[in-house]
Structure 1
Amino acid sequence: MSQALHPMLNTAIKAARSAGTIINRASLDLDRLQINRKAPNDFVTEVDHAAEAAIIETLLGAYPGHGINAEESGRTHGTSSSEYVWIIDPLDGTTNFLHGFPVYAVSIALAFRGQVQQAVVYDPARNDLFYASKGRGAFLNDKRIRVSKRTRLADCLLGTGFPFRRGDNFQRYLKMMEVMMPLCAGLRRPGAAALDLCYVAAGWYDGFFETGLKPWDMAAGSLMITEAGGLVGNFTGNADFLERGEVLAASPRIYGQLVQLLSPFTSVVNEEAAAPPEAARAAELTPEAALGAVLDDTARPAPAAAEAPAAPKLKPPVRIRKVPAPE
């Protein structure tokens, strides 16, 4: 690496590459893998466990007093009282991996007092290393990355994820698709949220949204977004996406347009009961009405991009005005 990296970031990169070696070796003979189901359509393999063990061994070998929050082992390792917590997904995209579909990654983030400070997402199939330190930018393989400069939603390629667990709200996602698909240039669902967020940071996607995620799916990618000049929050624009499990990320000008469209679909149950009738009705907008609302909003001058797009400010859900479809 040409630039000097933070020592903790260097340790995370070492851990991610170690896990990537285990994953690549296993990908050569998938038929021999032992596979278990955590839930319907939610798989875990011996590779997940081996990769996670390698990561934890590397991290705690360097920082034995730190805490661990890992997908497969939870918080059973490390020091539970530490202000430093490593948030780990050893293999994001296990279903892809099991099918030989080469979209999966190792995700490692370090949070200090609840704020993500260091992040690594490693794609072992492509040997792509995304990394970021707070205040020092985001990088892909030693090259600085930034979010896209597009300002029109109609020109944008968006990423998303589909619900797959029993009990997920499939109908809500179908309504979201009905609203979003006519308004953008394309919608993609590769199946690894950590990489999806990095794709926004690199400008390959213009935005990404998904619900039903866990902190280890989002933590590293969220720092990539902000360090690349983007914004990240939940569907209503609030900054508590790690706790809510609902994420929206985009370049600043596209972010506002997506909040406007997606806020009626928020999964925050305790706010749905208190939501104004207009917000509830907005979720029932036809694609034509939603398009009218967005066109009405984008006709106004676009706001200037934020100089330092850190966590978005708390704000109430944006109300979408219901307008008649054009004749």
Structure 2
Amino acid sequence: MSTEPTRLREYLSVAIEAARRGAAELERWRTKFSVREKSRADLVTDADTASQKIVKDILLGAFPDHVFIGEEDSVGKSPEDVRPPSDAPPAWVVDPLDGTANYVHDVPAYCVSIGLWHAGKAIVGVILDPRQNELFSAADGLGAFLNDKPIRVSTVPGVTDGMISTGFPANYQKQLRNLEAWKKLTEHAQSLRRNGSTALSMAYVAAGRFDGYWAYDNYPWDVMAGAALIAEAGGVLSTTDGKPFDPYRPDLIAGNPGVHPELLGILLS
């Protein structure tokens, strides 16, 4: 399967159209959705499922031989459960509404996140924030952009001067590990943030707004698009034990080249 620049631009263009259509569906549902719990405090709305259907139809309509991995089709599965075989065609990995709790409470920090995985790499990433009208986009070797303007990770030299973000899972028991990490980093970072959307947090790292990000309980649809953005914006990604980044593992650290190794060292200490 070709990943030459012309083909990548085609993938990116269709992903942007899918994100725009999915985001429009979120906004159409914003005042009339109903809410269900997948598990305690883990919410899903009519808007999630409606957005995913539109995104899926557009992506597979354009690329019928591709794989589609959507959050709303994967309830109860682990990240490893949805890993495509090594010889699989390109796989679209989609969160049709990242930041569902924010959306439910009308907090303007949610997005549509679309990533494309092929040959062991995130090769396309699109994250669209409809409330701020911000479109983050990237493709392998073609750069990262915010509303068509190039973006780069920050130049903050280390954690001491950095704004570091994280994400907490819905499950309380799983939150405890991250609370310990938060406590540890409070001694080092200039400031810590939790905005309720992993995809937006990673987009902000790519744009130089946040200087680093860590989390222990992600899913591939949370991080795939953001990984493509951060890599193209000059950032560094890894697992929380320093191994190469793998979106089908639940843990990650991301940051600019100065912050990432220091953040890794603090979390491992």
TM-score by length of 2: 0.90
CA contact (8 A) 1:23 1:51 kept: yes
Mapping of residues 1-327 of structure 1, within 5 Å: 6-27=9-30, 29=31, 32-74=32-74, 82-170=88-176, 172-263=177-268, 282=269
Structure ID, larger Rg: 1
The CA RMSD measured in Å over matched residues stands at 1.8
Please name the residue that 2:81 is paired with. Answer: none
For the residue of structure 2 that corresponds to 1:90, the secondary structure is strand
Deviations 1:216-251 (A, max 9, x none): 000000111110000011112212431221111000
* Aligned-partner Cα distance in 1 for 2:193–2:175: 19
Once the two structures are overlaid, the 10-residue window that deviates more, 240-249 or 80-89, is 80-89
- Per-residue deviation at 1:115? 1.4
Write the letter of the residue equivalent to 1:241. Answer: D
* Aligned-partner Cα distance in 1 for 2:116–2:247: 14
Once the two structures are overlaid, the 10-residue window that deviates more, 172-181 or 203-212, is 172-181
Question: Which consecutive residues of structure 2, in runs of 5 or more, have no partner in the other structure?
Answer: 1-5, 78-83
Deviations 1:170-223 (A, max 9, x none): 1x2232122101211100101000010010000001101111110000000011
CA contact (8 A) 2:158 2:262 kept: no
For the residue of structure 1 that corresponds to 2:47, the secondary structure is helix
Q: How many residues align?
A: 254
Change (3 A) 1:69 1:258: same
Please name the residue that 2:80 is paired with. Answer: none
Write the letter of the residue equivalent to 1:68. Answer: F
Write the letter of the residue equivalent to 1:112. Answer: H
Deviations 1:290-316 (A, max 9, x none): xxxxxxxxxxxxxxxxxxxxxxxxxxx
* Aligned-partner Cα distance in 2 for 1:126–1:147: 20
Once the two structures are overlaid, the 10-residue window that deviates more, 108-117 or 53-62, is 108-117
TM-score by length of 1: 0.74
Please name the residue that 1:310 is paired with. Answer: none
Question: Which consecutive residues of structure 1, in runs of 5 or more, have no partner in the other structure?
Answer: 264-281, 283-327
> Percent identity, aligned pairs only?
37
For the residue of structure 1 that corresponds to 2:258, the secondary structure is helix
* Aligned-partner Cα distance in 2 for 1:14–1:196: 22
CA contact (8 A) 2:102 2:108 kept: yes
Once the two structures are overlaid, the 10-residue window that deviates more, 246-255 or 108-117, is 108-117
CA contact (8 A) 2:140 2:228 kept: yes
Write the letter of the residue equivalent to 2:14. Answer: T
Deviations 1:16-46 (A, max 9, x none): 000010111222x1xx322111000101111
Please name the residue that 1:308 is paired with. Answer: none
* Aligned-partner Cα distance in 2 for 1:163–1:216: 14
More RCO (CA 8 Å, sep 6+)? 2
- Per-residue deviation at 1:125? 0.8
For the residue of structure 2 that corresponds to 1:6, the secondary structure is helix
- Per-residue deviation at 1:167? 3.6
* Aligned-partner Cα distance in 2 for 1:49–1:193: 19
- Per-residue deviation at 1:166? 4.5
For the residue of structure 2 that corresponds to 1:187, the secondary structure is strand
CA contact (8 A) 2:116 2:123 kept: yes
Please name the residue that 1:274 is paired with. Answer: none
* Aligned-partner Cα distance in 1 for 2:67–2:114: 13
CA contact (8 A) 1:104 1:123 kept: yes
- Per-residue deviation at 1:150? 1.0
CA contact (8 A) 2:167 2:198 kept: yes
Write the letter of the residue equivalent to 2:100. Answer: T
Please name the residue that 1:322 is paired with. Answer: none
